[in-house]
Amino acid sequence: MQLTLDPDSEVSIYQQIRDRIVEAIAKRQAREGDPLPSTRQLAADFGINFHTVNKAYDLLRQQGVIRINRKSGAVVRRDATTGPPEAAFVNDWEERMRVLLAEATVHGMDRQDVLRRCEALLISFEEGV
Amino acid sequence: MQLTLDPDSEVSIYQQIRDRIVEAIAKRQAREGDPLPSTRQLAADFGINFHTVNKAYDLLRQQGVIRINRKSGAVVRRDATTGPPEAAFVNDWEERMRVLLAEATVHGMDRQDVLRRCEALLISFEEGV
Amino acid sequence: MQLTLDPDSEVSIYQQIRDRIVEAIAKRQAREGDPLPSTRQLAADFGINFHTVNKAYDLLRQQGVIRINRKSGAVVRRDATTGPPEAAFVNDWEERMRVLLAEATVHGMDRQDVLRRCEALLISFEEGV
Amino acid sequence: MQLTLDPDSEVSIYQQIRDRIVEAIAKRQAREGDPLPSTRQLAADFGINFHTVNKAYDLLRQQGVIRINRKSGAVVRRDATTGPPEAAFVNDWEERMRVLLAEATVHGMDRQDVLRRCEALLISFEEGV
DNA sequence: GTGGTCTAGACCACT
DNA sequence: GTGGTCTAGACCACC
């Protein structure tokens, strides 16, 4: 799993770590039961504070994506094969999707264009790219 | 144009204002050339400070969605009919969409489910709902 | 003399009027002694308040570019042939030029490029374009 | 980096801060990667409110001159060595330059005089004065 | 300790 | 009456 961070992004570091890990699981580069790097390992790789990595992992844990064992560290708990989504997740997700789709519409992307791009992204996950 | 804000949301108030206005334009409840409420008016309606509305409007201006005219206030500048999207916008938008789609995939939404929901949201805009 | 204004510019209307008139005199489309349109005339042409035009004319008067007669209206008082610049003007002008040139430098325009563009603009005035 | 502000200037304070920083970068007193004072620090130095400095920094960020890193504060992102200017910048810059050159012409500065002064200013940047 | 957000209120510029 | 600027002070998020 190869992660790249942008320290100048307006997205906070811990959010970026979380986003990259979610993407890696979507691409099936990491699967249910697979271990994640230790927080100290990841922090050293990126030259950031390990509390920041901790925060990202804690967020993933709250969202049900990973579980954290004192012994074995962080492990993927949730991937595409685990089962159908929870209703609460879908509600929240649709709220965020509505905003993103509204933006696309306002900026002149038409319905087919948007759907084609979404499909292409989803297929790229399935192909693990 | 009827806007509602959630003061307890983790999304900042000025972002919410921006999101609601973008959605209203996507639903064609406001079109190119239509005036928006004055910053102080909107602030009074929501019971918030006018600087907060100011920041939302400034953000919309930077993104090319509205223009601000010293005499007549804020006016919609960009809607679905204005023209094709700029390349820079599409690049940024796809980055954000990738994260949102990765999340859906990890939580067990399959490709068709995701696309169906996106299409439903886009159609709801076209129907002005 | 053909003037075009942009009501959405961040430059105020009266400043735009002033800028356009100064440019017209630089291009020698209006010369020392030539009359300018009446404030009410110009206001009607642009669909703006005549006080705004008044303010632009007053600014030009303060800067010594025009003089205003109760009877004959506004008349060009200063053009390229009138004589050498005042020291106070040059000082102020250099301050503003310094900022503009610093901006060009920071954004990667090199000295020759800047000078070539300035010369081209000055020549375009001499040619009345 | 030594900055001085004029509270009586007709140029707003946050614009002056922006102008002084751009000039400092043009003179290579600050280079790509160099840190700028924190917003609150600079505000304290000038005896002004930190929001005002914030606005100046935000403007510089929008214009691509600095980047703002959540941990290390503001850092110079753009200087003369970074690369060629963007077309959009040059267009806007030429518009502003046209007005300034027209003013010089109307006030009796001739072409060679203007170019000599511009060259002198540019050379003063190269010498870091 | 850094920047970001929000509030409150005053004053000014523009039209 | 509109937006723009500046001040003052509080609280939070991030690292």
- For D15-55, write each residue's pLDDT tens digit: 999 999 999 999 999 999 999 999 999 999 999 999 999 99
CA distances in angstroms from C125 to C23, C26, C128, D34, D102, listed in the order given: 8, 6, 5, 41, 8
With 80 as the cut, is the pLDDT of residue A13 above it?
A: yes
Is D81 contained in some domain? no
- The whole-number pLDDT of residue D44 equals 92
Do C70 and C45 belong together in one domain? yes
Calpha distance D94→D100 (Å, rounded): 10
Chain A: residue nearest D73 by CA?
Answer: A8
For residues D62 and D115, membership in a common domain is answered with: no
**In chain C, % of residues over pLDDT 90:** 76
Q: Check whether residue B22 and residue B45 sit in a common domain.
A: yes
- In order of B23, B32, C46, the CA distances from C10 in angstroms are 26, 20, 18
What's the pLDDT score for residue B1? Answer: 66
The closest of A37, A43, A48, A44 to A72, measured between CA atoms, is A37
Does residue B2 fall inside a structural domain? no
Please indicate, yes or no, whether residues D66 and D99 belong to a single structural domain of this protein. no
Which of A79, A94, A107 lies closest to B85 in CB terms?
A107
Q: Let me know whether A70 and A106 are in one domain.
A: no
**Using CA atoms, how far apart are residues B121 and A19, in angstroms rounded to an integer?**
24
Domain end residue (candidates: C40, C57, C76):
C76
Q: How far apart are CA A30 and CA A14, in angstroms?
A: 19
Q: Closest approach of chain C CAs to the CA of B69, in angstroms? A: 5
Q: Are residues D50 and D31 both part of a single domain? A: yes
The answer as to whether D4 is a domain residue is no
Q: Report yes or no on B59 lying in a domain.
A: yes
Same domain, B18 and B46: yes
Residue A4 placed within a domain: no
Write the pLDDT tens digit of every residue in C20-68. 999 999 999 999 999 999 988 889 888 888 899 999 999 999 999 999 9
Q: What is the rounded distance in angstroms from the CA atom of residue B32 to the CA atom of residue B78? A: 6
Question: For position C1, what pLDDT does the model report?
Answer: 63
* CA–CA dist C13, D100 (Å, integer): 17
Q: Is residue D5 in some structural domain?
A: no
Provide the β-strand partners of residue B67: B75
pLDDT in tens, C60-89: 999 999 999 888 889 999 999 999 999 999
Q: Which residues of chain B have pLDDT under 70?
A: 1
Residue where a domain terminates, one of D57, D76, D95: D76
Q: Is the C-alpha dihedral spanning D36, D39, D40, D42 positive or negative?
A: positive
pLDDT at residue C129 is higher than 80: no
For residues A2 and A46, the answer to whether their CB atoms sit within 8 Å is no
Q: Domain check: are C71 and C102 in the same one?
A: no
Residue D66 φ/ψ, nearest 5 degrees: -130, 165
Touching pair D, C by Cβ (3+ pairs < 8 Å)? yes
Q: Are residues C21 and C71 in the same domain?
A: yes
Contact between B21 and B3 under an 8 Å Cβ cutoff? The reply is yes
Give yes or no: residues C33 and C61 share one domain: yes
D68 touches strand E (CB under 7 A): yes
At CB < 8 Å, which residues of chain B contact C? 67-71
**Within a domain: residue D30?**
yes
In a domain, B31, yes or no: yes
Q: Using the beta-carbon criterion (under 8 Å), do B69 and C12 form an inter-chain contact?
A: no
Question: With bands split at pLDDT 50, 70 and 90, how would you rate the model's confidence at A71?
Answer: confident
- Is the Cβ atom of D40 within 7 Å of strand E at any atom? yes
- Closest residue to F15 (CA to C1') is D71
Local confidence band at A75 (pLDDT 50, 70, 90 cut-offs) = very high
More confident residue, A7 or C107: C107
Question: What are the structure tokens assigned to B110, written together?
Answer: 């399959």
- Answer yes or no: do C114 and D122 touch at CB < 8 A: yes
pLDDT tens readout for residues D71-98? 888 999 999 999 999 999 999 999 999 9
How many folded domains does chain B comprise?
Answer: 2
What range does the domain containing B26 cover?
Answer: 13-76
Query: Does residue B69 share a domain with residue B38?
Result: yes
Q: List protein-proximal bases of chain E (any atom < 7 A from a CB).
A: 1-9, 13-15
Task: Give me the mean pLDDT over the C109-125 stretch.
Answer: 97
Cross-chain CB nearest to B67 (options C8, C12, C13): C8
Which positions on chain F have an atom < 7 Å from some protein CB? 1-9, 13-15
C70 and C104 both lie in a single domain: no
Burial profile B80-118: b = 16 or more Cβ within 10 angstroms, e = fewer: bebeebeeebbeebeeebbbbbbbbbbbbbebeebbebb
Q: How far is the CA of A99 from the C1' of E6 (A)?
A: 23
CA distance A52 to chain D (A): 12
